[in-house]
Structure 1
């Protein structure tokens, strides 16, 4: 066997090894879909059925739960897509619709987290002096703006997403930009708006809140416990966000740098991206399950509302 044939076999080996990824991704996506829908619908049901009006924090949390639902409703199509080794069997209209749902949900979810991090900063660091900024009406307007602005970045995919046939009989759902400049511009816009800007805002306000709570004078055991719990929640939420989102977007940045020929990827690097990119996409989806657990279920007020509603139902 000559050197070229050995190199070819070595290059193809990783692609043969990832066949199990398709089946694993299929079941993983379905589990995320079921758990995410159950958790987020449960959150919305509790907040809607409770007699008392929602607080500003609860308005943002309900918006976060609602923001995850478009993504979760699109996941069954994505699961079938993964099972068919990323061949798209659903036609052009669903190709556009599913991707628009996923993109809108991503933007709406991440900017809901931005609103939550800012509101948490105001509530914990300036509980009295910034009450005017924490009115329910302003919170609802902010949520509405998030939904409207989340649609705008999905417009390029609504226009350019389409189904094409490759290798004679393989149908794929892919975004086809009209030219090089549009492709680079849209991809850079996506990374800036859905990753760089929100990750900076969330990290900034989370760290400022963390520092303020650490430096706050001890006012009593109960106050100290609440501050400690709030601090741990902030750290946990920030870590989950970073762990789930950074790998996917780092891959996207590497892809863009290769596309504009700033980086020249080797065959081994290309294989690495091919293997890990779907895994990082699945990791990003996991936030739809973690968000209601971190931001809602651990809250004492939410558990109190669940008990009150369950008593009323008896």
Structure 2
């Protein structure tokens, strides 16, 4: 929704958002931004400052945190847009840039999870034969490829997103040149940001759970480090799916209606327009939830946090001691 009033495919089917929706959404987004920035900066700080190099899984989780942080920096612009009832106050350049970064976050997050799923699949199902594919260097290259792919898939936002004056309001929205381009871009987005990655994640997760069950049943031991990493990854995957699947299902239904595969009633369209932004803002909460899961589920991450604080405490004491010695030498 890019305006105060949304018109459905039927000209007589109009949806007027309630007045309370804009201020509530505004403060909700701002709270998410503050929490998301603090939590994800904390995660990245722990991974970067720890004396040991990151494992492959931690590299992917760091990439996920970086993607979430990018989203958090963009959301205040969108919060102000919502507060002004979708009257965009920041100009055409920021209209394009902010939305490109938001879409890049969606792609980079889901494909970071794809890499995490594949890594856990290889670690548990093929722990020895595919060890060469689980090197930190390849993980970093994979993260770089994810960001390049995310940018390329965001190009339609860069091309078609713009500001226009509609009913005395400056709307920041996508304006496709024709219906075919509109349908093609929407279908591409659904395929690459939802169906394909979720299909890969589902297969890997099924194999992971199947392998864990077989090894428990056969009495085979799994390294504690690998088991902890796997449980953390499964928790992150579950959180992502719970937060994002409702929005994508709604998006798919709306797209099928647009391309006339489905024919929705006026009430159904109004329901979609009403819930579409609510489900999107609920999905944004996933960027706050991930760091919380690292602390609650990630025993290795909590260990890293304690070690980083110890490192920081030792450095602080060493700096204080050195400063005291210099002060004494100066006085003498």
Q: TM above 0.5, one fold?
A: yes
For residues 224 and 116 of structure 1, do their structure 2 counterparts lie closer, same or farther at Cα, with a shift above 3 Å needed? closer
Pairwise CA distance, 1:35: 1.1
2:88 corresponds to = 88
State how 1:84-163 maps to structure 2 within 5 Å: 84-163=84-163
1:46 corresponds to = 46
In 2: Cα distance, 1:206 partner to 1:235 partner:
8
Aligned-residue RMSD, C-alpha: 2.1
In 1: Cα distance, 2:30 partner to 2:157 partner:
24
For residues 224 and 104 of structure 1, do their structure 2 counterparts lie closer, same or farther at Cα, with a shift above 3 Å needed? closer
Pairwise CA distance, 1:230: 6.3
Pairwise CA distance, 1:250: 1.5
Pairwise CA distance, 1:96: 0.3
1:211 corresponds to = 210
Pairwise CA distance, 1:27: 1.3
Q: Deviations over 1:239-286 (max 9, x none)?
A: 322221111112211221222222232221121112101111111111
For residues 43 and 97 of structure 1, do their structure 2 counterparts lie closer, same or farther at Cα, with a shift above 3 Å needed? same
Query: Could you say what secondary structure the match of 2:16 adopts?
Result: helix
How many residues get paired?
299
Pairwise CA distance, 1:111: 0.4
Contiguous gaps of at least 5 residues in structure 2: 1-12, 314-332
Query: Could you say what secondary structure the match of 2:20 adopts?
Result: helix
* 2:64 and 2:108 in contact (8 A); partners too: yes
2:20 corresponds to = 20
1:5 corresponds to = none
Q: Which of 171-180 and 225-234 deviates more? A: 225-234
In 2: Cα distance, 1:25 partner to 1:194 partner:
24
Q: Deviations over 1:202-236 (max 9, x none)?
A: 1111111011101112246xx59888866754554
* 1:111 and 1:198 in contact (8 A); partners too: yes
- TM-score normalised by structure 1 residue count: 0.89
1:60 corresponds to = 60
* 2:57 and 2:229 in contact (8 A); partners too: no
Pairwise CA distance, 1:190: 0.5
* 1:63 and 1:143 in contact (8 A); partners too: yes
Query: Could you say what secondary structure the match of 2:87 adopts?
Result: coil
Contiguous gaps of at least 5 residues in structure 1: 1-10
Query: Could you say what secondary structure the match of 1:128 adopts?
Result: coil
* 1:43 and 1:296 in contact (8 A); partners too: no
Q: Which of 79-88 and 273-282 deviates more? A: 79-88
In 1: Cα distance, 2:123 partner to 2:294 partner:
15
* 2:26 and 2:80 in contact (8 A); partners too: yes
Q: Deviations over 1:99-136 (max 9, x none)?
A: 00100111111100110111111122322222101011
1:31 corresponds to = 31
For residues 273 and 21 of structure 1, do their structure 2 counterparts lie closer, same or farther at Cα, with a shift above 3 Å needed? same
* 1:113 and 1:202 in contact (8 A); partners too: yes
2:5 corresponds to = none
